[in-house]
Amino acid sequence: MPLPTKKTPRFRQEILALFGLFLSIFLLLCLVSYSLPLLSDRPVLQMPGENWCGSIGYYIARYLLSFLGLTSLFPVLILLYTSISVMIPGGTTNRLPFVVAGVSGILISASGLLATTESLIFPAEMIRPGGYLGGLIWDLVGRLMGSVGSVLLLILLFIFSLMAAVHFSPFGAGKWLWLTGGKVSK
């Protein structure tokens, strides 16, 4: 006779999902508030008291953007997605290890890929697109595999990480594009 398995109470999952939801919204507000002065006609760095989330929000956004660059939005958006998916009936936290592994791979690969550009959205002297991590990854992988090999490896890592984090299927996406494209052309 099999032993009964201990199930995690649904209430605890909902509390964690709600905490994750509010954390992701807080982080998103920190990053958006920090980014707005950089997108103006004359870009300037924000002062700590000017962030919508106070000085804590300022420092969180500053260090996230300087370390991860534009990829700092990925973990926030995936945390938002995961929190919402757990709160939907039938959702669970059993996939959390896959989400963490996927987010880690997305951060590494996207930072490395963005490090190949000089400037993307923000002025390069204020925020590098790939951040410090992207520059480190690009230098390390670029020395071992060259530019083309590095781009291919980082794209492959990005796709595998998306597959782990959000159940992304490249073949399913291709099929959907093919079917949707066929309907549009008619």
Residue with tokens 């071992």: 144
Query: Cα(150)–Cα(143) distance, rounded to whole angstroms?
Result: 9
Mean pLDDT along residues 121-141: 89
Q: State yes or no: pLDDT of 152 exceeds 80.
A: yes
| DSSP for residue 126 | T
Residue type, 138: W
* 180 three-class SS: helix
Phi, psi for residue 110 in degrees, rounded to 5: -65, -40
Looking at residue 53, its amino acid is: C
pLDDT band, residue 83 (cuts 50/70/90): confident
**How large a percentage of the chain has pLDDT more than 90?**
44
Query: Which ranges of the chain does DSSP label H, i.e. alpha helix?
Result: 10-35, 54-68, 73-87, 96-114, 131-166, 170-185
Residue 171 pLDDT grade (very low, low, confident, very high; cuts 50, 70, 90): confident
Give pTM, 2 decimals. Answer: 0.77
- pLDDT over 90 (residue 57): yes
HSE of 177 in the Cβ direction (CA atoms, 13 Å)?
6
Q: How many CB atoms lie within 10 A of CB 101?
A: 14
The Cβ of residue 69 has, within 10 Å, a number of other Cβ atoms equal to: 27
Task: State the average pLDDT over residues 84-99.
Answer: 75
